[in-house]
Structure 1
Amino acid sequence: MTQPKQDLAGELTRLAQAKELARIEELWLERLDELPTQSAFYKSWIKEMRHAGATERTEELIGLLVDHLLSSDRARPALRILLATIPFYPHSETLRPHLLRAMRGYYREIDNLETLLQLARLDGPDAKEKSLVEGFKAFREWERLTPGQVWQHYDWGEGVVQELDLDARKVRFAFRHDANKEMTVEGARRYLRYLEPTHFLARRAKEPETLARLAETDPVGLIKAVLASQEGSQIKQGELKTLLTHGVMPAEEWNNWWSKAREALKLDPYIDFDAGAGARAVIQLRERPRSFAEEVREQFFAADAGTVVKAELIRQMARKPKETELPDKLLEKMAERLEEEWRLAGDEHPARRLEIAYMLEDLAALRPGGASPRHDAGPLLDQIGEDYTALVELDHVDYGIRALEALMHRDGEAGCRRAAELLPHAEVKLAQAIWKALDEEQHAELAVAALQQMLDDPLENPDTYAWAVRAILDGSWGHLEDYFPASAIVQEVLDHMETWHRLAGAEGADPERAEGARKLLGKMRTLLAAGKYEAISKAVDQAHRDLAARLRAKIADHPALSATFKQQADRVIRVTRPELEGTGTAAMGAGPSIVQKSDELLCTEWAYQKKAAELREITAVKIPRNSKVIEEARMEGDLRENAGYQYAKEEQKMLVQTQASLTDMLSRAVIRHARDVDATRVGFGTRIVVQNLDEDVEENYTILGRWEADPEKHVLSMQAPLAMQFSGRREGEELTVERPGGGTTRYRILRIENALATGEWDRPAAPEAEPVKAGEGG
C-alpha cells in the first residue's frame, strides 16, 4: 500500500533526524511522484538535513525533484519549493539554473521575461552579483510593472499597467480619468502603491463584470473578497457601500442588494455582523467558523427570526452531509417552537399554517428514522381552492413554488390558467416557476395576457416587472417577439420612467409607490445601458426611420436620464442608424450645460486650455473617425468573428467615457491667475522652498491642481498628502510631515513664492477654437 503524502513527509523528517541519509535517498528516488510540494515542509526538512550534515546532498535532491516537476509542466510547485530552499543556499550555482527554468515556466506569459531576468541579476554576465533571494526579489519588483498589474494612486485611484518600456524606463498606466498616464519606473515605485492581483481593488479595476456577476450570484462571496483585502479582515457597512457602488453596482441598486445580502450574512458561520447597527455596523471575517449546530440555534431562536430565516436554516440542515451531527434535542426544540407558531396562526391564516406545515414536514425528515410530520399540507391546499393568489402571501418563495406545483398537478389545465393569472402578482422566483410550467405554444395567449397586465402597471410588482422586461429585451422569450417588439417595449419603458421620475420627487406621494418608482428608475437605466446600450440599439434597429428619430429625441429630452447616458446612447443610435446623423438635438451635445456642476476644480489657464483641446480633439476628430471605422467593419459581415469591429467598439466605449469625464471636469473648472494667489501662506499657485531638517538639504515644491501635477518634477496636486500637510502654513513654520510610503520628515518653510507670476502656468494656450467656458476665480 502506498503511503499518504502526509505520512511520507513525516517519514522523511524522522529519517533526517535519525541521520539515515541512504534511506532518504532511496525513498526520494522511489517516491518522486509523491513527494510533498508544500513550502512549509521544505523549510523544516532542510534544517534537519543540515543538522545531519547533508547540506550538499540536500541541494542535489531538491534539484532532482524540481527537474522532475518541470518535466511534467508543473512550474508552480517547482517554483514554490525553490523559493523555500534558496534562503538556505542564497549563492548556489547548482540551484540557479533550476530557479531560472522554473521562472521561465511560471512567468512564460511575460513578453520581455529574459530582459527582466537579466535586470534582476538572475541571468546574464552579471548574474553572480546578487544572491538568488535578492535576485528574485528584484525580479518581482520588475514583474509588478508588467502589463496587467494594478497600482494605486491616492488621487487617481487604481491604474492598470498597459506597457513597460524598459529602454526608456517608463510605464504607461490606464487610470479611470487618464487612460494613458506615463510615469518613470522610479516615479511609479515612489508615488504608487502596488496591489496584489487578489486584492479587491485590483480585481475591481480589471474585472468589474466578474464582481458584478458575483454580487448577483453570491453576495456573501463578494463581501468575503472585500474583507480579505481589508486590514483586520473587517469593514463598516458604509465603507462597503462606497467600495461596491464605485464600479461593481449602481448606487441606486445598493438598498435592494444589501437587504438580501445582510440576511445571507447572518447565516454565514464565517461572518460576524451586528445587523442592527446600521451604516456603522462592522462586518468581520472569522478565522474559524461557528459550529453549524450553534449557528442554527442562534439564528432559529432569534427574536426577529421570520419564516424566511427559519425555512432557510432547515433547508441548509437538509443539505448537510449525513455525518454532520444535528443534536436530537435541537430538532425537538425547533419543532416545539413551530408547533407554538401553528397554534398562534389559527384557522383564519391558512397560508401561514401551510408554511409551518412544510417546515415541520422538512424537519421531520431530518429526525432519525424520518418521523411522520405532525401536520398535513393537503387539507390546507384544499382550503386555497381555485384562488392561487393566496400563494403570494407565503413569506418563503420556495414554499410558494412547492404549493404551486401541488395545485397545478391537482387542477390540470385549469391550474395553468390560474397560475398565469397569478403571474403579474408573484415575486420573481415564483414567476419564473410559473413561466417554466407554461408551454410556449399551448399557453402563449395566457402568457401574453399576464405580461400585458404586468407591463401596464409596473409599480404593482416592480421586481417581477424588471425581470420580465429584461427577458423580453435580451431575447430570452423569442416566441413572444411579435407581441412585444423591442421598439415598443423601450418606448413604453421610457414613458414609464418619466412618470416614475415625477412620482419619486413628488411631495405627498405614497411612500411605497415612490420607493418602487426609485427602484425601477435605477433598474431600467441599468437595463437600457447594459451590453453597450444593446436594448436601445435593438429598438432603433427594428423601428422605422420616423419612430427611431422620435425615440432618439425622447432619450435626448428625458428628465430621468443623465447627461452621460444620453451622450452614450446617442452614439449607439447613430452607429446603428447612420441615416439619423445630422437630425440630432441640442440635448445630445457634449457641452457642459447638460452636466450637473459640483465641487469646483481649481486649475491654471494653461491646464484648462490643454484639457479643452483634448475634449475638442475627441469630439471633432477621434469619435467621428471611430464611428467611420465601426461602420466600415459592420459592412464586412458577421460581427461575432470581426476582431476589427470588436476593437473599434471597445475604443468607442473608452472615447465616450473620456469625453463625458472631460466635459464634467471642464464644467467644474475654476481658472486661477497670478493675481488670485495669496503668497503669504501655502496654497494653490504657490511655490515653496523648504529645508529638510533631517537631511539638511533644501527642497522645492509647486502646489497646483490635479491636471498640472507631476510629482517627478516636484509639482504637486493640492490634494496630494504632502501638499495638504503644508497647506495654510507660513514662512518660518516648522512641521513634521508623514510620507506616503511610511516614516516622517521634519521641515522648515524658508520661502513662499507666487508660482504663477512667472507666466509659465498663467498663460493661455495658443487658440485653436472657441474654448469651453469655465468659471473664473476672483
Structure 2
Amino acid sequence: MDAQKSGIRQQLEALAAQGKIGARQIEKLLALTTSGFCYHNHWGVGRITTMDVVLARFSIDFPNKPGHHMDLSFAAESLKPLGRDHIYVRKIVNMDELRQMAALNHLELIKLVLKSLGGKATLEQIQKILVPDVIGDDWRKWWEAARMEIKKDGHFVIPAKKTDPIVYNEVEISLQDRLMADFRAAKGLKARLAIAAELVKNLPELTDPKSAAGEAINTLNSEIATHQRTQPATALEAIFVRDDLRSASGLPPVEGEVTAGDIWTQPDLKVAELFEQVPATKHRRMLQSFCQFNPDNWHVAILNSLNTASAKLVSELARVLIQNDHLNELKETLARLISQHQASSELLLWLARERSDTFADILGPEVFRAMLSAIERDQFNERKANKLRDFILSDQSLLVELIGTADIDVIKDLTRALQLSPSFDDMDKRSLLARIVKSYPVIQTLITGEQTARQETHLIVSWTSLERRRQEYNELVQKKIPANSREIAIARSYGDLRENHEYKAAKEMQKLLMNRKAELEEQLLRARGTDFSNVKGDVVSVGTRVRVSETATSQSETFTILGAWDSDPEQNIISYLTPIAQALIGHGVGDEVEFEFHGGVKRYKIEHIAPVFQPAAPLVVPETAPSAPVASASESTGQTTAIAGPATSTPEAPAAPMEASAPAPTEPAADLPPPQLNPPSGSAA
C-alpha cells in the first residue's frame, strides 16, 4: 500500500513539474486517489475509478453522472476525500451491514454518522442520511428507541432544542454532569427551564439526584423571584418545574419561596394574556392551578377572558367551565357576545370548529353575521382575520349548517350582508353565495337580480291546503332540521369523516331537508289564500264546478276546479294549473274546448257552470312559515286581488292575511254535489 501510495505521489509530482497541477494540490489529490471516494457539493458521493496521468484527469462515478471526467486541478479544489469508514462510503460499499447495525446497534450507527460529519449533526441531518436507504421502517419509532440509549451513554450530548446538533465526545461524561453543565451554562430562565425539565425526566438515572435537584431548585427560586412581576408567565412555568423537581427528589419546600398562589393573586393580572405566553401543552395545568388559588371567582375570570383568548386556549377554558357545571354561563356569554357582534375572531373560530350538540341553540345565522363583523374588525390583524376567513371558506358545511333553520327573510339579509362585505374577494363571495343558493334556490334572484316567470306568478290556493303546507314547513324547521343538525354533530364526534357512514347519511338527509325547505318557502311566498267566495259562475274560473260532455262519446263528467294544492282525483277535484283546467278557464256554457291528453286530443262541451263556496279566511294564521296574502279567484285571469294588503308582483314582500268576513253563501247547483273542502282551524264561516 505504501509502495502504491509512493508511486502515485511520484506521478503527481511529475504532473506538477509539467505545470498540469499545482504543487499545493499534490496532498489533496493523493488523499482522493488513496481513498477512492469523494464528495461534491452538487453531485454528491462519487467513486474514483481511474486517474489518467496523461490527460491529468479523474474518471468518477457520481449517482447521476457515471463515468464523469474531471481535471485533476479542478478536482483538488472541488472534491472532498472520504475515508473508507465514512457513512457515505459505507452506504455504497456495504449497505447490508449498515441495515444490520440499524437493527441491532443503534449507538454504533449514530456514532458512525456523527463522526462522519465532524462529531456533530442535527436530527434532520441524521434522518436525511439514514432514511430510507438504511432505515426503511418507521423512523420515529426507531429514533425514540435510539434516543433512549443515547441519553444513557456519556459520549453523546442531546440538545434541548431539536434544531441544535447532537454531539459525540470521545471522552465519556456522566448524564448528571452533562445536564448540570448545560443547566449552569443556559442563558436566561427560559433556557434553564428546558434543561430543568430534562432533569425531572432523568432524575432516577442520575448518580446523585438530590444534589442535582437541590442546586436546580435553588437557582430556579432565585430567578423566579426576579421574574415574578416582570414575566409572571415564565415565573409560573418555573414554579411548576421546580415543584416537579422537589416532588421527584423528595426535597422539602424552601421557606419564603414564591408559589403559584403569589403569581395568581397579583393585582391587575391579565389572565388570558398570561395563558397565551406559555405553550398550549401547559394550559391545562395552569388552569388547574388558577382554579385552586381562586376558588370563588375563577369562573368569572375565565368567562371574561374568553373574548381575548386564542382558539386553542378557548377550547381549554370552555372544557373547564363545562366540567365544573358552568355551561349555562358559558352559553350566555357566547350568546351575548354574538348578538352584540363583539365576539372575537378566535372565539368564533373555536365555536365554528366545535359545533357540537351542546351549542346547537347558539349556532345560527347570527353567528355568521358576527363572523363577518369580526373579520372586518380585524382587517388590520391579518393573522386573526385570515384564520377565521380561511376556515369559513374551507369548511363546506359550516355556512349551510348556520343558516339551516333560518327563514327566508333572514337568509336574504345575510346574503345582502355577504355581498356588501369587504372581508371576502369576489371569487370567495361567489363560492359562499353558491352554498346559500344550493340550500335556498329562491335566493338566486336576489343575487342575479333576475325574476323568472315562475317566481312572478302567484299561486291560488285554498286556506285548507295553505294550512297544510304551513304545518309541513313548521315541522320541517322546528323538528326535522334541528334533529338532523344534532345527528350531524353526533356523527362528527365519531371522527374520520371520510369513513364515517353515519355522518354521510346525515349530510345526505340534510341536503334533502334543505331542498324541501327552500321549495316550501318559494311556494309559500307565491301562495295567495282564498275561500273562492267571489266566483260569479258565468264563466269557468278557479272555484267553479263544471259539467262537461265529451263530444266524441257524449259521456258526461264533472270537474271541480280549485287551488294549486287542492287536487283530489277521487272527488274529481283538479288544480287550476292542470291542462284540462287551463283549457276550460275563461269559457262559458255551450263553448267547446280541446286539450292534449296522453298524446291525443280530447274535445269537451261545457254544459253547466256553478260556483263553489268555501267559508272565509282563517282568523289566525301561524307566523312561523312565510305568510301568504289573501287572494280572490280572479287571479286565474292574471289579476291579483289581495284582500288583506296591497297586491304585489313579486314574492319579496307579500301582504299578510287578515280576518275576512264571508259574504252570504252561494247556493250550489242541485245537480252538482259540493266538494269536501274544510276550512282550516280558526277560520270564520
TM-score by length of 1: 0.32
TM-score by length of 2: 0.36
Between the two structures, name the one with larger relative contact order (CA 8 Å, sep ≥ 6).
2
| Structure number with larger C-alpha Rg | 2
